[in-house]
Every structure is written in C-alpha cells, then in structure tokens.
Amino acid sequence: MKYVFIMNPSSGRKNAQDAFMKKVRAAAEALQVDYKLYLTKAPQDGGRYAKALCVKNAGRGETLRFYGCGGDGTLNELVNFTAGFSNVEIGAVPMGTGNDYIRNYGAVSDFLDLKGQFLGKSKHSDLIKYEAVYEDKHTEGYCVNMANIGFDCNVADLAGRVKRWPLLKGSLAYLVAVAIVLIGKKGADLRIEYEDGRIADGKVLLSAVANGCFCGGGVKGVPYCRLDDGFMDVSVISNVSRLFFISMFPSYAKGTHLNKKKIREGKIIEYSKERSLTVTANEECMKICIDGEVTTQQKIAFSMVRDAFRFIVPANIG
C-alpha cells in the first residue's frame, strides 16, 4: 500500500503546516510505513498528480491511498481526478476552513490523528454526479458533499472573501457572511424538476442537493443525509421573510429545524430523497456552490452514483 499526502500550501497557516509535516513523519516512523508528501503548485495540480500515479499504478493491484490535506475543495479535486480507477482510497486531513464532509463521520479533530489515518479503514461512499450548461459550455463532475443554490451559495461566495478579513476564520466568517447576505435576502428563482415528475417553479430562499449533512463549517442544514444510501437529500426552503429566517437559523444550524411545528405545518421546507434532479434558472443564470467552489450555470442535472469511491475513516473513530 502506498500512502500519499497531498497538501495545498495555501490552506491553513505556515507554522501549522510545518507542525503537520513533522507529525506525519513521526507517525510513519512509528508504524514503519513509507509515505510521500506532495505540495501542490497550482490549482488542480494535486488532482493531476494523483491521476498520474493512478495511471502508473494501473494493473499492479497495489492500493493507493491519497490524503487530501486542505478543505472540502481539496477532497473534491482528488475524487474527481481519480474517479474510475480501482484500488484507490481517498482520505482527508483538515487543513482548510470548512471541512464539512468529514463531519459526517466524526469530529474534525479525529482526522488530525495521523496514526489513526495510517491505520484507518476505507468505507464505500456515494457521489452526486452533475452535468451543467451555461452559454453553450458544458461542465460535468462529481459533488462529494453538497451543492447549494440561493442563500447558502451566496453566503459561501461571500464567506470566501470574508475569511481574508482580520480575525474572521472558519465558522465565524460564515456567520458574518450570513448576516450580510441576509440584509439583501437574495435567494434564487428556479425551476426544480423531481424524479417523480413534480415541478417546483418560482422564488426560493435556498436549495441544497446533498450527500452529506453539513455546510458552512458545521451548519447541519440537511440533517437526514447518509453517505451510502444511494440517495441525495434535497432541501428547498421557500422565500420566507428575514425575521422568520433569523428565528429559524439556530435550529437550522443544529439540524433540528425539520422538527419545528411551524416549519412542518407551514410547508416552508420541501425535503425529499432523490436519485435524480434537474434545476434550471428562471433568470439568465444562477450561482451554484459545489463543495465550496462557486460557479455560474444556467441548468444543472444531478444523479446519484452509489458506492462511487472509498473514503478512509481514521481508526480512532468508532
């Protein structure tokens, strides 16, 4: 088995990176295993490097373990570049700010145990495949954790800039972005086509298409997700008032909002499990946030791919 740690130098602080590299070396020496650390040089360089190793390893039967040392975007990149190759397992070491996918398995701190990472077992996980179009340009790929349209996407887009402000990192940056976006209360005007033929057409506050429960650094907005059930969880919140959303947000962040009587009886949230879904912008375009990365699209089709990759769960979990 080969262990390859791929680190994005722009994720996290320099002193934290140095300390991390020392911990990797110490854990590898204690367990007497060989490893390689690769520092990325440009966007998608880590994915291309991993893919090249997969091609070189094809037919040899040896398992390649890639650990994405960054955030959700780093994990997404590795999964997309290695999809389809056999004998590949993907892990995540949280050096970024969101780290939402790993929260579905345990605490973020659990994934910083390097011995646990080396000794971890891999589990099958689903992926959400997407095919999008904007101005005759077609894009396709895989979503590991969640795709957001509307309020959540606008918050993620702004949070990426807020994180560069002094003293504002992680969840705090997300909460500041929530407050700013809430002032404008910008949602989305969408046509949502469900697998069973139902159509929802009009303005919504937000729409989430999810494989995992969390976004925004731990906000549990889609609480009933399972990573291996073959379904995406779709949550659509109607165009509610600012005051109502403010009152709802604490329970939304905890993942208890669907238990609220006012939300259930008011039909404020449409929540369902789907195997496919198509979303079209009623306006010229819409912003979509996929695993923390924001793009602009006109139409996007989602479909589930069951047991699409193997994710490394550290041995200290469970």
- Over residues 66-89, the pLDDT tens digits come to 999 988 999 999 999 999 999 999
Q: Is residue 220, in this structure, part of any structural domain at all? A: yes
Residues 12 and 136 grouped into a single domain: no
Structure-token pair, residue 159: 């949070």
What is the CA 30 to chain-centroid distance, rounded? 32
The answer on pLDDT for 250 being more than 70 is: yes
The pLDDT, as a whole number, for residue 315 is 97
Last residue of a domain, one of 96, 120, 141: 96
As a whole number of angstroms, the distance between CA 45 and CA 49 comes to 6
CATH code: domain of residue 48: 3.40.50.10330
On whether both 180 and 68 belong to a single domain, the answer is: no
What percent of the chain has a predicted confidence (pLDDT) above 90? 75
Maximum CA extent, the chain:
59
**In terms of C-beta density within 10 A (0-12 exposed, 13-18 middle, 19 or more buried), how is residue 136 classed?**
exposed
Could you give the C-alpha distances from 73 to 158, 274, 287, in angstroms and in order?
A: 16, 24, 17
Are residue 186 and residue 271 in the same domain, yes or no? yes
The more confident residue out of 9 and 249 is: 249
How many folded domains does the chain comprise? Answer: 2
Confidence of residue 243 (pLDDT cuts 50, 70, 90): confident
Domain of residue 17: give its range: 2-96
- Same-domain check for residues 46 and 164: no
**Residues contacting 302, CB < 8 A, separation 6+:** 128, 129, 130, 143, 147, 209, 232, 274, 276, 277, 278, 279
Residues 181, 77: one domain?
A: no
pLDDT of residue 159: 73
The CATH number assigned to the domain holding 213 equals 2.60.200.40
Note whether residue 277 is domain-resident.
Answer: yes
The structure's pTM equals 0.92
Give which of 97, 133, 81 is closest to 12, Cα–Cα.
97
Same domain, 80 and 195: no
Tally Cβ neighbours within 10 Å of residue 245: 19
